[in-house]
Amino acid sequence: MGLKNHTELEPGHGRRFVAVQISWTRVELLRGAIWCMPESDPFGEHMRMDLGCLSAGPQPRDQPTSPEDQKDRIDPSTKKNWVPASKQAVTVSYFYDVTRNSYRIISVDGAKVIINSTITPNMTFTKTSQKFGQWADSRANTVFGLGFSSEQQLTKFAEKFQEVKEAAKLAREKSQEKIETSSNHSQASSVNGTDDEKASHAGPADTHLKSENDKLKIALTQSAANVKKWEIELQTLRESNARLTTALQESAASVEQWKKQFSICRDENDRLRHKIDELEEQCSEINREKEKNSQLKRRIEELESELREKETELKDLRKQSEIIPQLMSECEFVSEKLEAAERDNQNLEDKVRSLKTDVEESKYRQRHLKVELKSFLEVLDGKIDDLHDFRRGLSKLGTDN
């Protein structure tokens, strides 16, 4: 498992991390979910972040970006329902800690660290369902869970987790080798230090006493100088204390004055507030009067409009009253014509009735003529038959002769 390009960044806790591209470099989750659950309380407070689809591949040399997704936290009152924890999406990334020579899974939401899990060789990523997996971090006393939108994405993340765990195992073995080497070096240096100490004790005792005496003289001189310095500082502090006392007294007097002014201002404020309330009440009354006036104006306008309409109708009626005599004469003329027409109509009706009577009589005569004609035709047919018989008899007689 080779390391590609490294990117150094400072997450905000004072420790330097190096982002390492290990096959995928970073794992970004969209439309999945992340849960953080304390081991001590598996049904306690949880954290959930809805992310997106799993994306992999070489990433640019910049810090991970966060897609827009929702993060939820379990409701501490019900221990079951999720409530939103953040409105932003997050990026889940693998990082390599140069200082501690360890691998981490880190997810940061702005200045808030969502996941900070150190991967150890004894960790195991467990698939609890087709789209969900989790691992336990004993150092953080937390169980982290990741939800994915498909089983393939969960499988990819599990494979990557296994790769990083193997890398963490190799890093631990290398660190143990370095610790053993450094412990051997420290033991050798401690042996050399013991030999030098023995050589130093072999020196003359008077030299040691002189050096101690010189040190005491220097300390005494410095002590006298420090006493003078402390006396000056004490005097300065006393003067400062006096000035502060005076300032405090002035401040107390100012506070009393400000209290009086504050009381006056508060009374004035109350008076103005009452005045404002009265003015607001007056304004409300004025507004009500204005509303009434506006309603009256609208009513007056409506009445004026109705009055104009009535005046127009009155003018029309007056014009019509002027032509009433002419209309009366025309009406009388028309009435006379109507009476004449009614008389003509009556005569015509009498003629029609007489014509109907004539028609009925004519129909009756026609029916009678038809009966007589039919009887005449029957008689005529009998006569014709008799003539035929007579003719045949004549023909027969002629033949016999």
pLDDT, tens digit (0-9, with 9 covering 90-100), for 169-220: 888 887 777 766 666 555 545 444 444 444 444 456 677 777 777 777 787 6
CA-CA distance, 393 to 397, in Å (whole number)? 6
Looking at per-residue pLDDT, the higher value among 32 and 251 belongs to 251
pLDDT at 328: 84
DSSP 297-347: HHHHHHHHHHHHHHHHHHHHHHHHHHTHHHHHHHHHHHHHHHHHHHHHHHH
In the chain, % of residues over pLDDT 70: 70
8-state DSSP, 391: H
Buried b (16+ CB within 10 A) or exposed e, 321-340: eeeeeeeeeeeeeeeeeeee
pLDDT of 300 higher than 90? yes
pLDDT at 14: 38
CA-CA distance, 243 to 144, in Å (whole number)? 61
The residue assigned the tokens 């004026």 is: 304
pLDDT at 183: 61
Residue 115 phi/psi, 5° resolution? -130, 130
Highest mean pLDDT among 69-78, 139-148, 276-285 belongs to 276-285
Region 355-361: mean pLDDT is 89
CA-CA distance, 243 to 32, in Å (whole number)? 67
pTM over 0.75: no
90-142 pLDDT per residue, tens: 677 777 777 777 888 887 777 777 778 889 888 889 888 888 888 888 887 87
pLDDT range class, residue 295, cuts 50, 70, 90: very high
Region 300-312: mean pLDDT is 91
pLDDT range class, residue 81, cuts 50, 70, 90: very low
The residue assigned the tokens 């009067």 is: 289
pLDDT at 90: 65
- Compute CA distances 30 → 56, 181, 241, whole Å: 12, 45, 65
Determine the residue type at 39: E
pLDDT range class, residue 301, cuts 50, 70, 90: very high
pLDDT at 46: 33
pLDDT of 364 higher than 50? yes
pLDDT of 243 higher than 80? yes
Distant-in-sequence, close-in-space partners of 192: CB < 8 Å, separation ≥ 6? none
pLDDT at 77: 56
Dihedral (CA of 366, 367, 369, 373) sign: positive
Which of 55-69, 229-243, 377-391 is least confident? Answer: 55-69
The residue assigned the tokens 């972040």 is: 49
Region 17-22: mean pLDDT is 33
Mean pLDDT of the chain: 72
- Compute CA distances 236 → 141, 218, 232, 233, whole Å: 55, 27, 6, 5
